[in-house]
């Protein structure tokens, strides 16, 4: 699956990177009332992008999900 340059750029960026333009929020997941994950769809290339707020530092990143599959929910330890 081809993704646009903006998706390629955001992939792997820290979760505190802001990207609101050109993407549509399509869903959120919470874990015990804490925001765990956001899903966006790119308006340009239709890629699904996950923004993950939980886990280790290297896991709290934006990740482009090829093929439009939903990512697994982060492990909820509580
Ligand atoms: Zn895109």
Which pair of tokens denotes residue 27?
């869903």
Contact 6, 42 (CB under 8 A): yes
Q: How far apart are alpha carbons 57 and 53 in whole angstroms?
A: 9
For residue 70, how many other CB atoms are within 10 A of its CB? 13
Average pLDDT over residues 26-48: 94
Distances (CA, A) of 17 to 12, 62, 67, 72, 77: 10, 8, 23, 21, 25
Tell me how many domains the chain contains.
1
pLDDT tens-digit profile of 5-20?
Answer: 999 999 999 999 998 7
Which residues make up the environment of ion ligand 1, defined by Cβ < 5 Å? 4, 7, 42, 44-45, 47
What residue numbers bound the domain in which 44 lies? 5-68
The answer to the question of residue 76 being in a domain is no
Measured in Å, residue 41 CA sits from the centre of ligand 1 at 8
φ and ψ at residue 58, rounded to 5 degrees: -75, -10
The answer to the question of residue 27 being in a domain is yes
The answer to the question of residue 77 being in a domain is no
Q: Taking the model in full, what pTM does it have?
A: 0.81
The answer to the question of residue 73 being in a domain is no
């Amino acid at each position: 699956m081809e993704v646009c340059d903006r998706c390629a750029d955001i992939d792997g960026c820290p979760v505190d990177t802001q990207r609101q333009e050109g993407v549509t929020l399509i869903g959120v997941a919470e874990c015990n009332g804490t925001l765990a994950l956001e899903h966006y769809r790119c308006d340009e290339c239709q890629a699904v992008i996950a923004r993950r707020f939980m886990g280790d530092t290297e896991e709290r990143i934006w990740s482009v999900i090829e093929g439009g599959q939903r990512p697994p929910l982060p492990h909820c330890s509580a």
